[in-house]
Structure 1
């Protein structure tokens, strides 16, 4: 687990295609995409520039609700989210909060352990599919 709780993977695709692929993987997994935010478009709206940066917010109340029942403040980090972004060298990255970090941050108990493990495994699989990473 990264000290700051972020996991970042390089994507083989552009920001928009990476988020499109992630949304497809999320829906195939039975989760719901709540919203998509294009931060670069927001920057343009106020006359500023920002390299391509898009956020996807997604989840399922079946997974998140038990965590919030354990520690309601976990809702500040739920639903899950992932950020696709282009760095100054033109490389594309896909970053997300490690569910284990979320659990540690909020002091989630033993009853949440299986849900957190399932979230972490699901995120790893969906991120790999979206980024075009080898899953072997």
Structure 2
């Protein structure tokens, strides 16, 4: 797999599915668990409209107000990290990747959010792992 640098908070999962199937399975898994898909941005299509090219890349913004609201009540600046985001991408013939930031660690480190408020975010990580691996 090509090597790209990323901050330590970025978790990368390799999918066993092709790009389109991975995106379909991820969005289905999220919505089946009560998550709302706020945006599904095809960044490769946007690049094509701008006259340039980008590897297959989709940015998905999702969340559940039941989980995010208490975090934003604890620190309004934490709203900059919500809703949660994942990016699905593929580079040439490499495996499809699903990247996300570890929200619990990020919110605790950057915003001083009590880990008790971010426990449900671990379920999202588990869901993503079960879905693509």
Normalised by the length of structure 1, the TM-score is: 0.85
Q: Distance in 2 between matches of 1:89 and 1:107?
A: 41
Aligned residue in 1 for 2:119? 117
User: CA separation of 1:21/1:46 partners in 2, compared to 1, >3 Å: closer, same or farther?
Assistant: same
Aligned residue in 2 for 1:25? 29
Equivalences for 1:62-73 in 2 at 5 Å? 62-73=66-77
Indicate which of 1, 7, 11 corresponds to 1:7: 11
Q: Distance in 2 between matches of 1:102 and 1:28?
A: 25
Q: Distance in 1 between matches of 2:17 and 2:59?
A: 15
Q: Any idea what the Cα deviations from partners look like across 1:37-92, whole Å, max 9, x if unmatched?
A: 00000000011011100011110111101101111111111011110011244221
Instruction: Give, in angstroms, the shift of residue 3 of structure 1.
Output: 5.3
Instruction: Report the number of matched residues.
Output: 127
User: CA separation of 1:54/1:65 partners in 2, compared to 1, >3 Å: closer, same or farther?
Assistant: same
| Higher mean displacement: 11-20 or 31-40 | 11-20
Aligned residue in 2 for 1:105? 110
Aligned-residue Cα RMSD (Å) equals 1.6
Secondary structure of the structure 1 residue equivalent to 2:87: strand
Secondary structure of the structure 2 residue equivalent to 1:130: helix
Instruction: Give yes or no for the alignment of 1:86 onto 2:86.
Output: no
Instruction: Give, in angstroms, the shift of residue 126 of structure 1.
Output: 2.0
Instruction: Give, in angstroms, the shift of residue 17 of structure 1.
Output: 1.7
